[in-house]
Chain A
Amino acid sequence: MTRIALVPGCLALLPAYASLLDPVPELRAACAEAVAWLGEDVRIVAADQGRRVAEALLATRTGVAGDGGSSYLVVANGAATRSERAPGYLDERAFDFDRALAKSLIAPDPAALRAVDTDLSHALWADVATLAPLADLLDAAHLESVDYDDDPYGVQYWVLRWAS
Chain B
Amino acid sequence: MTLRLRRHTFADDQPLMMAIVNRTPDSFFDKGATWAEDAAFERVGTVVEQGAEIVDIGGIKAAPGVEIPPAEEKARVVDFVARVREAFPDVVISVDTWRAEVGDAVCGAGADVLNDAWGGADPELVDVAAAHDAAIICTHTGGATPRTRPYRVEYDDVVRSAIEDTVAYAQRALDAGVAPESIVIDPAHDFGKNTFHSLEITRRLGEMVATGWPVLVSLSNKDFVGETLDLPVGERLLGTLAATSVCALAGARIYRVHQVPETRQSVDMVWSIAGRRRPARAIRGLQ
Which of B10-18, B108-116, B186-194, B278-286 lies at the interface? Answer: B278-286
Which of A15-23, A39-47, A93-101 lies at the interface? Answer: A15-23
Pick the contact of B287: A10, A19, A21 (CB < 8 A). Answer: A10
**Distance, CA A103 to CA B275, complexed state (A):** 43
**Interface membership of A37, Cβ < 8 A:** no
Q: Are B285 and A19 neighbours in the complex by a CB distance under 8 Å?
A: no
Chain B, interface SS category:
loop
**Distance, CA A21 to CA B278, complexed state (A):** 9
Q: Are B286 and A17 neighbours in the complex by a CB distance under 8 Å?
A: yes
> Which of B231-287 touch A at CB < 8 Å?
277-283, 285-287
**Distance, CA A11 to CA B285, complexed state (A):** 8
**Interface membership of A120, Cβ < 8 A:** no
Contacting residues, chain A, for B286 (C-beta < 8 A): 10-12, 17, 23
Which chain B residue lies CB-closest to A12? B286
* Shortest beta-carbon distance from B273 to chain A in Å: 15
> Which of A3-36 touch B at CB < 8 Å?
10-12, 17-24
Chain A interface category by residue count: 10 to 19
Which of A10, A11, A12, A86 has the largest count of B CB atoms less than 10 A from its CB?
A12
Contacting residues, chain A, for B287 (C-beta < 8 A): 10-12, 80, 86-87, 153-155
Chain A, interface SS category:
loop
Contacting residues, chain B, for A153 (C-beta < 8 A): 283, 287
Contacting residues, chain B, for A22 (C-beta < 8 A): 281
Kindly supply a per-residue 1/0 record for chain A positions 67-94, scoring 1 wherever the CB is within 8 Å of any chain B CB and 0 otherwise: 0000000000000100000110000000
**Distance, CA A10 to CA B283, complexed state (A):** 10
* Shortest beta-carbon distance from B68 to chain A in Å: 43
Contacting residues, chain A, for B281 (C-beta < 8 A): 19-23
Contacting residues, chain B, for A11 (C-beta < 8 A): 285-287
Contacting residues, chain B, for A21 (C-beta < 8 A): 280-281
Q: Are B280 and A12 neighbours in the complex by a CB distance under 8 Å?
A: no
**Distance, CA A22 to CA B285, complexed state (A):** 15
**Distance, CA A19 to CA B282, complexed state (A):** 6
**Distance, CA A86 to CA B283, complexed state (A):** 11
**Distance, CA A86 to CA B284, complexed state (A):** 10
**Distance, CA A155 to CA B284, complexed state (A):** 12
Which of A10, A19, A86 has the largest count of B CB atoms less than 10 A from its CB?
A19
Which of A86, A87, A155 has the largest count of B CB atoms less than 10 A from its CB?
A87
Contacting residues, chain B, for A10 (C-beta < 8 A): 286-287
* Shortest beta-carbon distance from B108 to chain A in Å: 38
> Which of B56-90 touch A at CB < 8 Å?
none
**Distance, CA A50 to CA B97, complexed state (A):** 59
Kindly supply a per-residue 1/0 record for chain B positions 179-205, scoring 1 wherever the CB is within 8 Å of any chain A CB and 0 otherwise: 000000000000000000000000000
- Residues of B whose CB lies within 8 Å of any CB of A are 277-283, 285-287
CB-defined A-B contacts under 8 Å, sample of 12: A19-B279, A19-B280, A20-B278, A20-B279, A20-B281, A21-B280, A23-B283, A24-B283, A86-B287, A87-B285, A154-B287, A155-B287
3 closest A-B pairs (Cβ-Cβ)? A23-B283, A12-B286, A153-B287
